[in-house]
Amino acid sequence: MCDMLYIPAARSSNRRHVLAKVGDRPLAECQPLFFQPAMDHPDDELLACTHICIPQALHTNAILANKIWWMWGVEMGTNDHHVAVTITAQHSVFPCEPDCGLLGNDLVRLALERGSSAYEAMHVIISLLEQYGQEGQTHYTADGGRYESAFFIADDHEAWKLETAGRKWVAKRVESVDCIGNCYSIRTEYDELAPGLIEYAVRNSLYDPSESFSFADAFTNPSHLFLRASLRNKRMRRLLNDAPERIDRAQIWRILADHYEGTWLESTSGPFTAVFPSICMHSNDPASNGKSACSMIFEYRDTLGIVCWTAFSNACTSIFLPVYFTDRLPALMTNVSQKYTPDSLWWTMERLTIEAEMDYERAIVRVRTVLDPLQKEIEEEALIVEEKAGLLLKNGEKEQVYALLNGFMEQNAQRVQEAASCLIEELSAERKQRGGPFGPRNRRMLPFWEKAGLPV
């Protein structure tokens, strides 16, 4: 499950529109950042995506994205044309196709590599979807599921949401606060529609032609899993509706870190034990598809383009770091491994989350006491650094801009790595003092540790 939100300039505190997403994946699925420079390719080159090969484009844009360790595609990201794309899973009544196609994550990466505007990127997705479909395993394990996809696609000037069912699709330009979850949201109001979609719905008794056509009503799969997703999506809409007139990054963080606080759905023993998955999702079953792996807030800037504020693992136990589109990323942010490794910031934050879940109500107070001041400090320093970078950029000093921003990102990654590592040591020592690594209270967590390859 994943949830995505869009805030137009009229509601944003910095008067530029904002795109954000919390991405959920199976437990311990490493999702560090990924950078690829712009490249030119020969006209006969084939591109190996996750499950199939397709013809390569003659030119691919530089991209910065959050990438699942085993996939070719990406979960969310931006490119050197200031296009940002996010994805979430959806399930329709369309039957499965027998052959593999492009995964939704492949489509995100292809849209970023080939699209120079939001509209062009959206039609990259549409064209490839219609040609290759989106069938195939979406989990690393053999029993992993398949899904269809929905996308938010934005650039400096506009944003679109695109929802798909099989090889069919519907698109709507987004001009007000909006969000997409694992349930269809486009109903009777849309701007573009796949050819033959309504006729297909009529032929298959999915739509009464005497009524207005609703994409969501026609193609929603009424599975109980996605009814739960509907509840989570309604929670995000309520939080957005209740937000201040000008929504800032702190408010977005609270939404991405939400566990139904203040409602009857809030778990009394921490989000790990929740019956209904929250926006900030914690898994209570190591075999289930269910915990937050990464969050991004895409903020547009007049001079620097997009700043990707990124939090690894769960938003509630993490910190959002400003990530800039330069010529590289810090190794701590990009190191990738199937199992835990201490030289990966993603794995450090994932270990901190799992450690905190051993006694969440006690641990989260300590975690936020350490991370909140550091978050504030980094945000204040980011304002100064970005102002300096903007002045350098106006003077055409691109190399100095990259050096400044790269140094700031490196410094921040190290600071968060050190703070999180100290928290892990403290929480681990307290846990062992209270009854050993896996006493009666924590025995349920052993499968999580084993799956992640964490040291006891």
Provide CB contacts within 8 A for 411, sequence distance 6+.
Answer: none
Give the Cα separation of 220 and 175 in Å (integer).
24
Q: Which position has the token pair 């209570």?
A: 284
Active site residues: 2
Provide CB contacts within 8 A for 183, sequence distance 6+.
Answer: 90, 216, 220, 226, 229, 230, 233
Contact assessment for residue 261 and residue 30, using Cβ atoms and an 8 Å cutoff = no
Which DSSP string corresponds to 271-283?
A: GGG-SSPPSS---
Buried b (16+ CB within 10 A) or exposed e, 186-214: beeebeebbeebbebbeeeebbeeeeebb
Closest C-alpha among 134, 136, 200 to residue 167:
134
- Helix, strand, coil fractions of the chain, as percent rounded to 5: 40, 20, 40
Q: How many CB atoms lie within 10 A of CB 368?
A: 15
264, 266, 269, 273 alpha-carbon torsion, rounded to 10°: 110
In the structure encoding, which two tokens stand for residue 151, read together?
Answer: 């996308």
